[in-house]
Structure 1
């Protein structure tokens, strides 16, 4: 096998493949959230400040939601928790769609936040525990690709329904949540969780006392803050540069397409041989390059190239980081470990709009993206120094290193 060839991969377990399909179905409808503030302003006469506050409260609500998802996954089972979360999201979205007052709409938004992240820890735990260590990076990378593929279809549906009535966005999102819940309920086997609070050896599972996990959580939160700038602040940054708002959708589509099409890269021998700290450092160098492109680019082709480079880094991060967290967890505790790590996204969703808009308003787009790129370089250095190696995955990397010359 040559150095640039793609290693032949074992097929993923049926459970994981069904979960990936369900994620695509669910993601197809996940376009209502960006329109929450628009609906509150248009239908209920709220000010922009009020709408922004509601959005921030939603972000805060996702933090206990994520923690509850991990706890429930390890106590009542993964499948049950996923179905519960999806049905809760559907109920909240229908409440928002049917709201006749601002109070009703805000209540629906808070309930949506409390149900929104119940799905993630158990679904990630299923992936981490259903595949052998050597396949975890690939499986989590495909999970990211499923989100991206569904997101591309979601954008098209949002464009169609948004011209009709914003409330139908929430109705459609609720329908896809229920369809996903039904698929999970019928297709996934019922799992039997470990006894509450203990792993298979009877040792208490306490993620917040695991220093290795807390270190990964710290760097993961910094990454999530940067990542959210490319979602929440990018449209404002383009407008400030005098570029068409339509560019935002094109950049999001280019990023999603790159995530899907670049999946074979994670199976290249040189990528598989990288240790976890080395892979995360390389990923953040790519992220820095993409953000530098955003700082310097003034044309659509340059912006599209920057989005593609950023997405390559994002692909490496998502596959490796969730595999690392799963590997750090004791048996039966991956749901809670993934939940604690996942709070990084709730923190980012709350802080990123404030930090991004302040930088944009006070210093401009070039400084915004240059600052984010510099933070990525700092994180690349930190990963090499403080990120633990994932024992199982890095042993696999060594095994692959020995395999490659034999297959040449």
Structure 2
């Protein structure tokens, strides 16, 4: 019993109460956020769209997300984390109701793009709030628990969605709207504003924890010109493209193999269940490993899992492949979030998060738009292309990891010692100028 208590303390102890309300909001939202998982099937089965057109409409959702994640980052840094979260969730609930009642494909495409905007807005605010309130030494466990809640909700959502999709697509969208509204109520009730407005400083003097470049360049421009950070974002984009196969292209492949929507729900639920059962043990498994090596291993596993779908023709093969890529995603979550948080200057925290999270709506656009065409013309060879892309990204992490981790260590040393930290493309406090000027090794 003592060992169990110690494990729980190491996994979830000493986290502030506000974090747990945010965690509950994520869990509630994800448990009901299943409508867009079935958007491609909804379009092809209920609205008669072709596979290519369905991919384009789902791609519009991803394109809207690319706008929304940047907008959410700017608003969370200027307007506040809480206000951004509330606005995004309330508008999302209304748009989901409108999408449920729409019949014309053009209107559905427009609404999908708008839903993409507001669906993506909360991501930077959620993570920025966690970084605001959780001390540095406890952030890894907080991010691990965030990922766990996300996937626990997804497991519940997938099981419910498979049943609802076979019974009524209308119910699918309306229940999603209700869960989103419930999340907004939790935030309004229990989550205070965590953004701390910095004290004014003399012009030209950077604040402690700010970057040399952020002192000269405002807003998103700092993040968008941060070469080490952008290299990391690019590799994360590849991982996101692989992840998005499960919600965009895999349902179409499974339907082509004669499998029912409930079978797809079972595959997604298996991944969520594995994460729910195993994610809390991941930190102890990877804590002593270099983050670059962990990310290379995780991306390689995902590449193998999705590549295996080239020979999938029955449910058992899909389930086996899902185990492989899910283990990869479990290993990737904590180091991805930790590196991203460590690279962000405090005053631009949400904006850095927004650029990082841009990878996911961008992947939501690229994966279905190109993937629908690829599946239609390449067939099962599509999965070999996806697997090859993942293996290239794994090699990229091996090359980029050492320099990136040296930079993170230097940034943390600078902040702890009371010196201004640096952005990834700005001057180093101490640790070697070659790290700052070599984007290939970041």
Q: TM-score per shorter chain, which class?
A: 0.7 to 0.9
Q: Is the 8 A contact 1:25 1:180 kept in 2?
A: yes
CA distance in structure 1 between the aligned counterparts of 2:260 and 2:182, rounded to whole angstroms: 36
Q: Is the 8 A contact 2:133 2:194 kept in 1?
A: no
CA distance in structure 2 between the aligned counterparts of 1:364 and 1:40, rounded to whole angstroms: 20
CA distance in structure 2 between the aligned counterparts of 1:223 and 1:28, rounded to whole angstroms: 23
Equivalent of 1:30, from 27, 30, 33? 33
TM-score, structure 1 normalization? 0.84
Deviation at 1:196, TM superposition (A): 11
Partner of 1:207: 223
Say what the alpha-carbon RMSD is for the aligned residues.
3.1
Distance 1:75 1:193, change over 3 A: farther
Deviation at 1:210, TM superposition (A): 1.0
| 1:233 paired to 2:249 | yes
- Pairs within 5 Å for 1:165-184: 165-184=168-187
Q: Is the 8 A contact 1:265 1:271 kept in 2?
A: no
CA distance in structure 2 between the aligned counterparts of 1:294 and 1:38, rounded to whole angstroms: 19
TM-score, structure 2 normalization? 0.78
Distance 1:171 1:292, change over 3 A: closer
CA distance in structure 2 between the aligned counterparts of 1:290 and 1:45, rounded to whole angstroms: 31
CA distance in structure 2 between the aligned counterparts of 1:262 and 1:107, rounded to whole angstroms: 39
Partner of 2:277: 261
Equivalent of 2:394, from 338, 359, 380? 380
- Find the residue that maps to 1:262 and give its secondary structure: helix
Higher mean displacement: 239-248 or 227-236: 239-248
Partner of 1:128: 131
Q: How far does the alpha carbon of each residue in 1:322-366 deviate from its partner, in whole angstroms, 9 at most, with x for none?
A: 21111100113221111001111122111112332344344432x
Q: How far does the alpha carbon of each residue in 1:229-263 deviate from its partner, in whole angstroms, 9 at most, with x for none?
A: 23322233334456666432221111111111112
Q: Is the 8 A contact 2:132 2:195 kept in 1?
A: no
Q: Is the 8 A contact 2:76 2:350 kept in 1?
A: yes
- Find the residue that maps to 1:273 and give its secondary structure: coil
Higher mean displacement: 208-217 or 31-40: 31-40
- Pairs within 5 Å for 1:304-323: 304-323=319-338
- Find the residue that maps to 1:222 and give its secondary structure: helix
Distance 1:169 1:324, change over 3 A: same
Deviation at 1:283, TM superposition (A): 1.2
- Pairs within 5 Å for 1:137-286: 137-194=140-197, 200-201=207-208, 203=215, 204-205=218-219, 206-241=222-257, 246-268=262-284, 270-286=285-301
Deviation at 1:373, TM superposition (A): 2.5
Distance 1:46 1:242, change over 3 A: closer
Q: Is the 8 A contact 1:6 1:264 kept in 2?
A: no
Partner of 1:403: none
Distance 1:81 1:287, change over 3 A: same
CA distance in structure 2 between the aligned counterparts of 1:35 and 1:378, rounded to whole angstroms: 30
CA distance in structure 2 between the aligned counterparts of 1:120 and 1:361, rounded to whole angstroms: 32
- Pairs within 5 Å for 1:62-77: 62-77=65-80
- Find the residue that maps to 1:18 and give its secondary structure: helix
CA distance in structure 2 between the aligned counterparts of 1:141 and 1:375, rounded to whole angstroms: 26
Equivalent of 1:117, from 105, 116, 120? 120
- Find the residue that maps to 2:358 and give its secondary structure: helix
> How many residues of Structure 1 are paired with residues of Structure 2 in the alignment?
390
Q: Is the 8 A contact 2:162 2:265 kept in 1?
A: no
Unaligned runs of 5+ in 1: 396-408
Q: Is the 8 A contact 2:120 2:361 kept in 1?
A: no
Partner of 1:341: 356
- Find the residue that maps to 1:97 and give its secondary structure: helix
Equivalent of 1:326, from 336, 341, 363? 341
CA distance in structure 1 between the aligned counterparts of 2:412 and 2:282, rounded to whole angstroms: 14
CA distance in structure 2 between the aligned counterparts of 1:44 and 1:159, rounded to whole angstroms: 18
Q: How far does the alpha carbon of each residue in 1:358-403 deviate from its partner, in whole angstroms, 9 at most, with x for none?
A: 44344432x33333233222222211212411328999xxxxxxxx
Deviation at 1:71, TM superposition (A): 0.6
Q: How far does the alpha carbon of each residue in 1:22-48 deviate from its partner, in whole angstroms, 9 at most, with x for none?
A: 111111221122444566677777666
Partner of 2:418: none
CA distance in structure 1 between the aligned counterparts of 2:318 and 2:48, rounded to whole angstroms: 36
CA distance in structure 2 between the aligned counterparts of 1:233 and 1:289, rounded to whole angstroms: 17
Partner of 1:94: 97
CA distance in structure 1 between the aligned counterparts of 2:200 and 2:336, rounded to whole angstroms: 24
CA distance in structure 2 between the aligned counterparts of 1:43 and 1:364, rounded to whole angstroms: 23
Unaligned runs of 5+ in 2: 414-442
Q: Is the 8 A contact 2:59 2:369 kept in 1?
A: no
